[in-house]
Amino acid sequence: MYCSNCGKELKENSNFCANCGAKQISIGDSKSSGVKVSDNINEPIELAKKEVKESAIAGYVVAGLSGILAVISIATGTIIAGMSGLALVDAIIFAALAYGVSKYNRSCAVAILALYALEEVYNFSTIPINSFADLVSRSILPIIFLILFSRGIVGSFEYHKLSK
């Protein structure tokens, strides 16, 4: 049995976790409290899976948006939002990394964050900001994606640690 709070293995019939001190729900307690024991046992690993899934979805969204803008750029022959037709290569790389993240690959989780951060720094330094609204709109979405990609790193490392 594993701790419902930190995921560490518990000694047989333990009421409290020796690692974090969290009270454990036994099978007898679960009937009276309405809590399923099986849901609590895997909570940390389920949280790690959720973080990885959200990070992978964010990667697919970035890949999709980059791909759409690249196709439009190729079709019209113009640069759209700082993206040319070469953004199609970028979209393929993001999609491949997002797939790797979805398979709990720690290297892909780190790489997708690094690539996204580098691209945002480059875009922020090369594309002029015309207004405060432009600054806000170009800051909020990248911060959200950076947070999601960071959580994907944490989730993939936690998943591997807990699944041993």
- DSSP secondary structure, 15-40, as one string: SB-TTT-PBPPPHHHHHHHT--HHHH
Domain boundaries defined on the chain: 1-41, 47-162
CA distance 121 to 110: 17
Angstrom distances, CA of residue 14 to CA of 24, 26, 27, 46: 7, 9, 12, 22
Q: What is the largest CA-CA distance in the chain?
A: 69
Residues with Cβ within 8 Å of 57's Cβ and at least 6 positions away in sequence, in order, are: 98, 148
Q: From CA 129, how far away is CA 133, in angstroms rounded?
A: 9
> What pLDDT is recorded for position 42?
56
pLDDT at 44: 87
For residues 147 and 118, what is the distance between their CA atoms, to the nearest angstrom? Answer: 15
> What pTM, to 2 d.p., does this model score?
0.71
pLDDT at 13: 74
Whole-number Å distance between alpha carbons of 87 and 12: 55
Tens-digit pLDDT string for the chain (164 aa): 677 777 778 777 777 777 777 777 655 444 444 444 444 445 888 899 999 999 999 999 999 999 998 999 888 888 877 777 788 999 999 999 999 999 999 999 999 999 999 999 988 888 888 888 778 778 898 999 999 999 999 999 999 998 87
